[in-house]
Amino acid sequence: MVFFDYFEELLGGVECFIAVGSLIGLLGVFIGALLFLGGGKRVRYHMLGIIIVSFMLLSVCGFDTGIKYFRLFR
């Protein structure tokens, strides 16, 4: 039984990391879009990279995984 408890806790930790990745992806898209629209040429170049990485993170972690896991909006 201890063996199954270990894997249950391990999967809970992985689920938490996926939820945090989802929230970081959402935050990256939001802040990246704001700074892309309001920044200079160099800032736009960097924000485009952040937006692309954030979309990749959202595609792996899921769009609403973090919102559901941490119960941000009820």
Which of 4-8, 27-31, 56-60, 70-74 bottoms out in mean pLDDT, i.e. has the lowest? Answer: 70-74
When pLDDT is cut at 50, 70 and 90, the band that residue 5 belongs to is: confident
pLDDT for 9-49, tens place per residue?
999 999 999 999 999 999 999 999 999 999 888 999 999 99
HEC-encoded secondary structure of 9-47: HHHHHHHHHHHHHHHHHHHHHHHHHHHHHHCCHHHHHHH
Residue 8: C-alpha distances to residues 15, 16, 52, 64, 69 (Å): 11, 12, 33, 22, 16
Distance CA 15, CA 18 (A): 5
